[in-house]
Structure 1
Amino acid sequence: MDYRITCLVLIQIAAVVVDGEERTCHYKFGAYHPQIYDMFTCAWCYTFLFPKRGLTAHPAHPFLFLTSESGRVHARLNPDAKNDTARTEICRTLTDEQCQRWQSCCNAAHECCDKQLSLPPPDNSTCQATWDGYGCWGKEAPSTVNYINCPLYMSYSIPTRQAEKICLPNSTWLMKAGMYWTDYTQCSNYKDLKTSLYLGMGCSIFSVIVLVPAIYIFVRYKALRKQHRIRLHINFFLALLLKEVMTILWDMLVTYDRVSHEDAFNTILVQNGVGCKLLSFFMIYFKCTSFTWMFCEGFYLHRLMSDAFSPPRSLVTLYLTGWGIPLLSSTIYAIIRGIYANESCWSTSYEDKEWIFYAPNLTCLIVNFIFLCNILRILLTQLQSHPNEPSNFRKAVKATFVLIPLFGVQLFVTIYRIPVNKQAGLEYERFSLFCNNLQGFFVALIFCFLNSEVITHLRKTWRRRIRDRSLGGSKRLNTTLNQTLSFNTDTLDRKSSDKRNRKENYQMDDNVNGDVFSKDSRGNDIRYNPVPATDEELCSMPENNHGKCMLH
């Protein structure tokens, strides 16, 4: 081991002495030969990623040391991630997932060294390219603030967030406490990440809840859906709805999965499966469709305002524009991304290549802004012809504010993205989420639920249902009464018939005195009288014993 150390030191000395013949790679604590650089950076990757695992790095020695609480060194490990034996020894102190994170950090540091070697030799005109322990920075101009995406091997890191490094006017990197300093606070601040995530999801869900009934109302009424204006609204609302649904799925399945796990390599984002890349593609596509359909809305309204006597007769061209152009740009981007940067579910920035779909989106916004300005000019011209009607001015102002969400003018505020670690950057990020994710809510509210024509149709439907319910209730009540009356009538008829039968047919024989009685059936007064007896029976009665009875 001592022999190897001596050789490494000699290599390092040779690299320093033979200036110009042997290039070095720069990292946080100095410049070294690439092999020594790899050992230093791997050692510090371990220390930065797992500070409580027991192994520590040293600024002057390219090893990992196992020390006791008193600071006594018990073991010294070679941190070379490319050496199988050394890698096995290091990974015994880590879980499998942590070992992958450590190796990823080492590989990123090695790639940074290759990048430095490909650049021209350093001079005093720029800040030197370097590896800061987590990320790689190129040669940057003085007095600039530079950014890189947060690396995935950091705990709770989201690649859409960025780290910041400042190049001072004297062409040196900013230092704090005597060391080169990089701001990674936004990469690991998962509490703020979750807050922004919940805010964005809440706004998207709110828009979906409002957009679904709005689309149903437009489709439900034939008098509405046959209008060209309403057909454009339906397509625009559908584009916004699908965009918000894709955003919700991405936040729930990908982003939340990442911020909820410290270990990145078991997450969907790092596994980089086909499903998450398809989700990323559809999210990009439907976001682009929302811009093109904003343009279609603006174009149609501008055409009506500027030439009311010749409105578009067919919407086929607008349909192809609204759904076709985003499909073309998104497909081209997906092909290039899948070939050259097929990682992290395409969530990381692909720099200039993203202008493939950014350019059409920005063009739609600019053209819509021109449309809006011209519409305002037309309205103001009409106001000048009727100066004594103050209500016209209020209508013009109202129309301006109403058209802002339809034309997407509010999105101009969110075009430039202020880094989160800048002052008010976090607040600006959440304001952007509010503007972008609630656009569907505002357009559905203004152009559907507050539309007088829609309100009229809804009132008619409501009154018709109330009337139908009232008629239905009356019919049910009449049916019930008729059934009840019919039942009572049948019952009374049966009872009367039974009584008549009993009055006519009922006879009773009294075995005690031998009298025979018949039932009287006159009216409802029921009486029982003896049936007239024979003459012999009458004469045999006690009251006839005085000789008044004469037998024949």
Structure 2
Amino acid sequence: MLTVLLLIVSASPQNSTCRFGQDNYLPPDIFKAYSCCACYNFMFRVPGGQNVGSAQCNPQTMMIESKSQQMTVQLEPKPSNRDKICSLVGSDSKCEEWLDCCQGSIDCCDHMIEEQKEDNLLTDGFCPSTWDTFRCWKRAEPNTSAHKTCPSFIISNVKNCVDPEIHYVERECLADGKWNANLSENFNESSYLRCVLPLDCLKVWQDARHYLEISCEILSLAFVIPATIIFLSYRNLFKQMRIKIHTNLFIALILFDSIHLIYQLRVRHPDLVTETVQNNSVECRVLNALTKFSVLSMFVWMLVEGFYLHWLMINTFRQPRLRLIIAAGWCAPTLITIVYALAMRLSKDFNFGCWLNGGNLAWIVNTPLIVCLAVNIIFLINILRVIIPKIVHKNEPVYYRKAVKAIAILMAPFGLSLIFTLVSPDSETDYETKLQLDLIAAAVLHSQGFIISIVLCYTNAEVIFHLRKTLGRYITCIEDRTRQDASMMTGVTHLSTGRSSLNAGTDKTLLASTSHTEVNEAVKQRLLNETSNNNAEYPS
């Protein structure tokens, strides 16, 4: 870089030179090398994004500082050089964009040289031709503005959101024949602010997926947790091997939804993702490893479901060993996750950005997932090969319905719908389609708990029988308690009525007794009075 700066200072505008940025006049050879290097730096120096580093530019070579290696590449457009750099970039389309940028700078320099040959002057009162790192600007009259289309590497993911009338690069030539340097602080007198606006369209898709995944995870947890409790609550159910396998699958689904819910809130939240990825904290890397473990556990237990159904077809009277199945179902995902985490931690290429970009190391996890799906497909085909002839070769339409139901029941535990998560269009060629399929894949993947719990639990005849039995007992208990309460209330009513009658009779008896006594006393008193009178009339 120091050599380039010295050459920039010593370069004389009177010779054939090419203008780069703000009044940096470089000899053509140096300009072509430096501009191509600048294209690389601006296009690929994304924190936590590409697996490439910045390039140290000098007149002869370009030193690319990778996360794991350093490469010195001659900037001549030789196929060997392109292959080396493109292999490091890891994307053919991105590499083509870089090569187009390099070629654009070369063509721009050639144009400036032709202008100088015609006029023998670098300036004639017009704003001079220049290269601003991405776009070539020809001479412009004073007090005019110029527009260019946005570079493809900025808008490639949101092309359908770009309106050429609104989103463009702009440049302003002032009255003194100089480009307006205040129009932009970072892009060499050109303003690219309008080109960034369509990125909000991409954010809408990203936010939609984020909240869709959270909603599906909460829905799945609301169905899987009660289903697991149901299986664990009934001994008659849980003692069956297939119910135990279902329970382990449900536990894997609970782990998947819970870990992904935390991951969405702590790492992938739209307001936190940039800062979190740049910090590359231990927390976010551990959460990333746990998400891999949860996905592997879910796939492996789906494979166990398929294995068990296939086993029952081959060995009708002999059960597999449950302990071996449980050990394989949980140990396999654990070992694969440990290998993945160690590989990412020790890798100089991918130990950054919260491990979001695993590169080739992602196949440590993806390969077992594909194997699980492939084996489950084989199990499914073989099972259907045996089941369908027994079901379809009946004349009654009900058997066709049973065949469809059988296929539907087998599809959910096998997780064939999860193929969407491994097959997706290239984000660089058809990004809108990729976004749409990503939304579908997110809905399917994070709704697995909801789907599988309905198929294996809530529509299970045995579960429905036990739930009805429990509900019947509960209703009977309530009815018995209601009868007891009613009987008690009736007894209390009779008791109250009896007491009232008894009190009324006692009162009447007392009243009658009192009245009779009073009459007797009155009679006695009258007799006494009469006797007294007689004695008075007839004295002795």
Q: Is TM > 0.5 for Structure 1 vs Structure 2?
A: yes
AA aligned to 2:243 is: I
2:425, 2:434 within 8 Å by CA — same for their partners in 1? yes
5 Å-filtered alignment, 1:6-405, equals 6=6, 9=9, 30-32=32-34, 108-110=53-55, 113-115=63-65, 118-121=71-74, 122-125=76-79, 128=82, 144-146=92-94, 165=97, 181-184=152-155, 185=157, 189-256=202-269, 259-260=270-271, 264-265=274-275, 268-312=276-320, 314-340=321-347, 341-346=350-355, 348-382=356-390, 386=393, 388=395, 391-405=398-412
Query: How many Å separate the matches in 2 of 1:237 and 1:286?
Result: 12
AA aligned to 2:271 is: S
Query: How many Å separate the matches in 2 of 1:41 and 1:166?
Result: 6
1:416 offset after TM fit, Å? 1.7
1:433 offset after TM fit, Å? 0.8
RMSD: 4.4
Correspondence for 1:450? 459
2:297, 2:329 within 8 Å by CA — same for their partners in 1? yes
2:296, 2:365 within 8 Å by CA — same for their partners in 1? yes
Give 1 or 2 for the bigger CA radius of gyration: 1
1:528 offset after TM fit, Å? 7.9
1:339 offset after TM fit, Å? 3.1
Unaligned 5+ residue runs, structure 1? 17-28, 50-100, 131-135, 148-163, 507-518
Residues 479-518 of structure 1, C-alpha deviations (whole Å, 9 max, x = no match)? 12223433443455456556656765x6xxxxxxxxxxxx
Query: How many Å separate the matches in 2 of 1:500 and 1:223?
Result: 69
Query: How many Å separate the matches in 1 of 2:379 and 2:228?
Result: 25
Query: How many Å separate the matches in 2 of 1:167 and 1:241?
Result: 48
1:467 offset after TM fit, Å? 1.6
5 Å-filtered alignment, 1:392-471, equals 392-420=399-427, 422=430, 423-471=432-480
1:5 offset after TM fit, Å? 5.4
1:129, 1:140 within 8 Å by CA — same for their partners in 2? no
Correspondence for 1:71? none
User: CA distance change for structure 1 residues 41 and 120 in 2, over 3 Å: closer, same or farther?
Assistant: closer
Query: How many Å separate the matches in 1 of 2:99 and 2:365?
Result: 31
1:298, 1:368 within 8 Å by CA — same for their partners in 2? yes
Query: How many Å separate the matches in 1 of 2:480 and 2:12?
Result: 97
1:218, 1:224 within 8 Å by CA — same for their partners in 2? yes
Correspondence for 1:537? 529
State TM-score, norm by structure 1: 0.65
Please say which of residues 335-344 and 229-238 is displaced more in the overlay: 335-344
5 Å-filtered alignment, 1:507-518, equals none
Please say which of residues 320-329 and 394-403 is displaced more in the overlay: 394-403
Query: How many Å separate the matches in 1 of 2:326 and 2:289?
Result: 21
AA aligned to 2:71 is: S
Query: How many Å separate the matches in 1 of 2:519 and 2:33?
Result: 134
User: CA distance change for structure 1 residues 283 and 41 in 2, over 3 Å: closer, same or farther?
Assistant: closer
1:520 to 516, 519, 525: 516
Query: How many Å separate the matches in 2 of 1:12 and 1:462?
Result: 94
Q: Higher helix proportion, which one?
A: 2
Residues 95-146 of structure 1, C-alpha deviations (whole Å, 9 max, x = no match)? xxxxxx99x99x942489434861553543268489xxxxx9656799x434
User: CA distance change for structure 1 residues 119 and 363 in 2, over 3 Å: closer, same or farther?
Assistant: farther
1:469 offset after TM fit, Å? 0.9
1:246, 1:279 within 8 Å by CA — same for their partners in 2? yes
Query: How many Å separate the matches in 2 of 1:357 and 1:246?
Result: 17
Please say which of residues 370-379 and 411-420 is displaced more in the overlay: 411-420
1:126, 1:171 within 8 Å by CA — same for their partners in 2? no
Find the residue that maps to 2:308 and give its secondary structure: helix
2:224, 2:250 within 8 Å by CA — same for their partners in 1? yes
Query: How many Å separate the matches in 2 of 1:11 and 1:171?
Result: 23
2:219, 2:450 within 8 Å by CA — same for their partners in 1? yes
Query: How many Å separate the matches in 2 of 1:129 and 1:254?
Result: 35
Residues 38-88 of structure 1, C-alpha deviations (whole Å, 9 max, x = no match)? 8x999x79xx99xxxxxxxxxxxxxxxxxxxxxxxxxxxxxxxxxxxxxxx
User: CA distance change for structure 1 residues 413 and 277 in 2, over 3 Å: closer, same or farther?
Assistant: closer
Q: Would you say how many aligned residue pairs link Structure 1 and Structure 2? A: 425
User: CA distance change for structure 1 residues 490 and 276 in 2, over 3 Å: closer, same or farther?
Assistant: farther
User: CA distance change for structure 1 residues 501 and 191 in 2, over 3 Å: closer, same or farther?
Assistant: same
1:242 offset after TM fit, Å? 1.2
